[in-house]
Structure 1
Amino acid sequence: RKLTADRLQDEDALLQFVRQRVRDAIAYRQWLLKEKESNAARMIFSEADGLPGLIVDRYNDILSLHAQTQAMDRAEIKQAIVAELQAQLVPDGVAHIVERVEPHIRELEQLPPAENHLLWGEKTSTQYELNGMRFHYNALSGQKSGAFLDQRENYAAAERYAHGTALDVFCYQGGFALHLTRVCSAVTALDSSRPALEVAEENEKLNQGLGRPQIEWIEANAFDFLKDYSASGQQYDTIVLDPPAFAKSKRNLETALRGYKELNLRAMKMLRPAGVLVACSCSYHVSDEDFRQMLTAAAVDAGRTLRLLEIRTQSKDHPIVLGIPESHYLKCMIASAR
């Protein structure tokens, strides 16, 4: 992993270079921080910001930091990163930094085992906003950095088209489902993780408002649920499918596409005429064309015609850099079904 093609004279030059890259990444996102209805964003996105192996997410007054390579895990480099983050973001309200670790990645990178821990400050939990919806955040628990900030703009897009009765499959902590309550008459959300659903229920309490439907939270296996509900003739006007990455590597691609097709095929059978399907994939190894062909095949088998409303990707705080294909991983297609 290369930081720069230029030769750096010494260790101090390296640390100053890293601090400049941190400043550049934050400056790039200043437009996002001005949004009145969101105070959470990805501040540093690894190679896309010229800092391979470094991920930094902001949740209101807490920063979540991932050092995923031996270089970024070096004490001197990490200290320089933290110092620059403090210099840039403390004036804007950041008061705590937590380091999160992924044991599998640390093992692959031959890094010593570690636990999620507080790097600076006093607290590890807070509340944050996305598109005017409020969420709980616990920096020491949850998946990866803690929430799916890359879907922020897709949450808003799904809300624009959603209507009637809605189903959110793989709802995690309720990102899509909570947005849908502002426009749908009924919302059902399911996930296989009880801890995630417990957080989702607490998130719902933060956003209770006049006229919003109460979400029906269901703990279930998504494949079994869709099979049973579609067989029983259950129908919805809006269905969101946001599964985890099925293709962890290229060799899993064929199996992953079969899984995506089964989910989308059953969802299409459960959509009423003019129903809206929001289909997502966060698998880098599934290309845009793979995903589109899968949806086309599922529509044919379901006897439905899909009209694409929007073809979307990750939020702009997760920049896609031409020449770095790994920076483009999220697919989100919104379609109307006939």
Structure 2
Amino acid sequence: MRKYAKFFVTPKGERAARGGHPWVFGEEVTKIEGDYANGDLVDVVTSKGKYLGTGFVNDHSKIRVRIISTNTNDKFDEAFWERRLRYALDYRLTVMGERDFNCCRLIFGEADMFPGLTVDRYNDLLVTQTLSLGIEMRKQMLFELLIKILREMGQEIRGLYERNDVRIRLLEGMEEGKHWFATDLCPEPGAVTTEIVENGIEYTVDVENGQKTGFFLDQKYNRQAIAKIAKGKHVLDCFTHTGSFALNAAKGGAASVTAVDISAEAVQMAEHNAAINNCSDVMHGLQANVFDLLSDLFNKHSREYDFIILDPPAFTKSGSTVKNAIRGYKEINLKAMKLLPRGGYLATCSCSHFMKEELFVKMLQDAAHDANVSLRQIEARQQSPDHPILWQVPETNYLKFYIFQVV
């Protein structure tokens, strides 16, 4: 006799669960048998009571149950979670290699069967974001296990910082906040900054104040692709953040690089990173609104750039705002295509899951038509493999990245 409450679901919920999707939405629950508290494990069953999976329940969330296992024999003890952590770490070591294991995403939520949990590694610091109550209630065990396993692997870890300063936690019935994770394993973590090396480029990462968890790791190998074709080019890197694309272009031999961001702090950090990589003679920062800057350059009939990089923030974070997002993406891509000379290069991307691949491609086709140019595709890329795409969970497939020559 299983000890968990039973959540009976609709045929739609059953199809999703059988198809491998871990989310059960509130409207898909038809009946509940047994007692439970939010954050508990519960069984998800068909209308006839046949087992589908076990997951974390939260009545505060639209996602009522987050399935973590479809094996009735699983015992959700410390050994279970340690096996799952080791599996995730072994995967990263395999696909990233020893060098890039030092700076990568160690846990990518549902793709690693840790719903709502992100763990990024920046050299000797771990940064976490916890967006599900079930994980929140077990994080002391999980984080201590994670540090222990990494140290067993010979990895230096001096602290774990929690970046839970996101509003979605309020929707899950949890508080916002950011702070060091308190544990005897890391009694004095020290500074909130650390140094990382990615693609041979050094960065200072601020895990307390940087965007997201401090740095955008998912574009690691897309930056390498930029470096390959930057030699001799005059590069405009839009939405530069920490200057990562700009620095890869500079290291790739660009003649000049302008790194643009609306945030003064971002431009300052990009210029700091340029200085520590001895790129200040090639790369300079510019604080500006990218939309306005592209318009101004076009109105001046500027032809000073022959390589433009567009790495904007997610213009949409829900299905209801996709149409507005398409307009935003099209505006910057159209302006960039008009600015580039024939034979110039364009790198463009979207990091929003809601901006589906087919929508992004259609937007690029429309922009090229309106700009009266043709696009010669050089590469179509996605997020790096430390952000694995689970085919049964389309939400894990979010980054679209294209490099074109404008002909």
| Structure 1 and Structure 2 fold alike (TM over 0.5) | yes
2:259 is aligned with 1:189: yes
The amino acid of 1:225's aligned partner reads L
Shift of residue 31, structure 1, vs aligned partner: 2.6
Superposed CA offset, 1:12-53 (max 9, x none): x33332222111100101135535477310000000001111
2:327 is aligned, of 258, 263, 278, to: 258
The amino acid of 1:122's aligned partner reads P
For the aligned residue pairs, the C-alpha RMSD in angstroms reads 1.7
Shift of residue 161, structure 1, vs aligned partner: 2.0
Superposed CA offset, 1:108-166 (max 9, x none): 11102323334434122110011000100111111111111000010001111224100
2:79 is aligned with 1:16: yes
Counterpart Cα distance in 1 of 2:235 and 2:142? 43
Aligned to 1:337: 406
2:189 is aligned with 1:122: yes
The amino acid of 1:214's aligned partner reads V
Counterpart Cα distance in 1 of 2:229 and 2:93? 29
Counterpart Cα distance in 2 of 1:116 and 1:53? 18
**Aligned pairs (5 A) from 1:256-295:** 256-295=325-364
Gaps of 5+ in 2: 1-65
Aligned to 1:107: 170
Shift of residue 187, structure 1, vs aligned partner: 0.4
The amino acid of 1:325's aligned partner reads P
The amino acid of 2:136's aligned partner reads D
**Aligned pairs (5 A) from 1:190-205:** 190-205=260-275
Counterpart Cα distance in 2 of 1:314 and 1:34? 16
SS for the counterpart of 1:103 is coil
Shift of residue 282, structure 1, vs aligned partner: 0.5
For CA contacts below 8 A with separation 6 or more, give which structure has more relative contact order: 1
SS for the counterpart of 1:93 is coil
**Aligned pairs (5 A) from 1:177-256:** 177-182=246-251, 183-208=253-278, 213-235=281-303, 236-256=305-325
Does the CA contact (< 8 Å) of 2:254 and 2:282 recur in 1?
no
Aligned length: 332
Counterpart Cα distance in 1 of 2:112 and 2:83? 11
The amino acid of 1:157's aligned partner reads A
Rg larger in 1 or in 2? 2
Does the CA contact (< 8 Å) of 2:259 and 2:270 recur in 1?
no
SS for the counterpart of 1:280 is strand
2:384 is aligned with 1:319: no
1:80 is aligned, of 141, 144, 149, to: 141
2:205 is aligned with 1:137: yes
SS for the counterpart of 2:312 is coil
Q: Greater CA deviation, 270-279 or 87-96?
A: 87-96
Aligned to 2:71: 6
Does the CA contact (< 8 Å) of 2:111 and 2:390 recur in 1?
yes
Q: 1:37 to 1:53 in 2, by over 3 A?
A: closer
TM-score by length of 2: 0.78
Q: Greater CA deviation, 212-221 or 141-150?
A: 212-221
TM-score by length of 1: 0.94
Shift of residue 265, structure 1, vs aligned partner: 0.4
Aligned to 2:220: 152
Shift of residue 230, structure 1, vs aligned partner: 1.2
The amino acid of 1:311's aligned partner reads A
Identity across the alignment (%): 38
Q: 1:40 to 1:9 in 2, by over 3 A?
A: closer
Counterpart Cα distance in 2 of 1:33 and 1:86? 19
The amino acid of 2:140's aligned partner reads Q
Does the CA contact (< 8 Å) of 1:23 and 1:84 recur in 2?
no
Counterpart Cα distance in 2 of 1:37 and 1:238? 27
